[in-house]
Structure 1
């Protein structure tokens, strides 16, 4: 994720993500869940722009717009972009300034990480546009304070994430995987999905070694081994989420009938993805899924 400048305007594209595998190791005493997950950014982007405030206009502003089919987006303090900008300004000892404009294409309540990606984009963009040039060692604590997935989006590429998501190891050799994402009309609340697991808090130290399924999934992702991906692409939240959103089950059955490499829910849902062999294959699969009126369908790919 990089901020680019064109004239006086700065711009950054914030990608969505998919969880290629997600294991829940337990619930911690602080309320967070210990997990192991392989996350990959995908080529479905929100756009965050900045331009200096015009003479005579207020010093600071933030507006949102959304692509057709998406609900309106709040532009108040509950938006993670606002929280990121104010947090960065406070940490750097400056006042927020300029006009920030967010255009949403990533559906919300989907497990695609759109809000977290937007927050990371805000940190990257304001750090450059405000001339702060803070190192990642200063941005990372801010990202962690905003949400478990925000640190992942600060740097590009597929990664193994542990802890509550803040322990990140990049997979430099992971190839791009063509994929199709389906977002049903109904969303899933992340707290509700985790609560449905019914896990009790514990204070046990998580194991230092990765679980065998995670090791196998890492090898499958890095080698793009279709047979292994079919076996190891899994999400421990999927059953719980299907109990909250029956549309996920419909998408799962639809993907099961198609000739895809692997398919799974991402994050806490409700979005679902299918890995395909080629970009053309992804386009064909997307067309068949659109014809079934399962929700919004995106033919895309993981990106580095």
Structure 2
């Protein structure tokens, strides 16, 4: 069985408070986009994982798909699977690609082996694998809060716009992104701000990570400015970076960015 895990972008991201467990409470908007991986799982004599496309760092045994298998297998006796992932979603980009792969894998085995897991059941498994992982179970626009793993559905449709994603040759670690970030509740509700026309988001909807990430990685700021210069109604780093997306009324010419960065159109 083959599924196609998609990425997400963050529209706004506020670091609200530091939690006793070391995590941060935040608020953000998760919006699914069309750039996808391909994930296949078939029964086999033994459990295995392989990949193609973008090189995935780390040991295969620590891949989130294997972790998802082991998590579900602790409650169900699953047969061994041969898992293959073709990686297309950029890594270290703030797009949730690894989380999407794990969540779609949970959905895949639920369907393939008729486990009869509810949406809530699958989300609870996914929450153990990553803060944004549970989002991809339903995969609809949401207002996310707490660690980014609690959701309220949103009426948000950007289908009449063109979304362009730019991935500069930069890798931002989570530690880098959080270093120096000051947790502070936002003066304005992101749930209310998202209702404004997209053209008004520029001066109202912020990503707190940009305050620390862009000074360390100026190329990200240059990409964001280039998107505005090309006519973006709104541009922002996604999550903790390093990707930057722009929302346009029409498809812009961005050949000058393609020389240094990977550019994905109509995502």
Both proteins in one fold, TM over 0.5:
yes
The one-character-per-residue Cα deviations of 1:207-264 (angstroms, maximum 9, x if unpaired) are 8xx85241332213xxxx2322333342111121113322212212322322111111
Among 245, 251, 260, the alignment partner of 2:217 is: 245
Answer yes or no: is 1:274 the counterpart of 2:242.
no
Answer yes or no: is 1:81 the counterpart of 2:47.
no
TM-score by length of 2: 0.92
Which deviates more, 244-253 or 179-188?
Answer: 244-253
Answer yes or no: is 1:296 the counterpart of 2:262.
yes
Q: Which residue of 1 aligns with 2:162?
A: 178
Matching of residues 194-273 of structure 1 within 5 Å: 194-197=178-181, 212-220=188-196, 225-273=197-245
TM-score by length of 1: 0.81
Alignment size in residue pairs? 266
C-alpha distance in structure 2 between counterparts of 1:256 and 1:191, whole Å:
28
Answer yes or no: is 1:16 the counterpart of 2:7.
yes
The secondary structure found in structure 2 opposite 1:91 is: coil
Q: Which residue of 2 aligns with 1:121?
A: 104
RMSD: 2.1
Matching of residues 89-100 of structure 1 within 5 Å: 89-92=73-76, 94-100=77-83
Q: Which residue of 2 aligns with 1:287?
A: 255
**Shift in Å at residue 197 of structure 1?**
1.4
8 Å CA contact 1:180–1:297 kept in 2: the answer is: yes
8 Å CA contact 1:216–1:232 kept in 2: the answer is: no
The secondary structure found in structure 2 opposite 1:121 is: helix
The secondary structure found in structure 2 opposite 1:219 is: coil
8 Å CA contact 1:18–1:266 kept in 2: the answer is: yes
8 Å CA contact 1:49–1:102 kept in 2: the answer is: yes
Q: Which residue of 2 aligns with 1:52?
A: 43
C-alpha distance in structure 2 between counterparts of 1:273 and 1:151, whole Å:
22
8 Å CA contact 2:190–2:205 kept in 1: the answer is: no
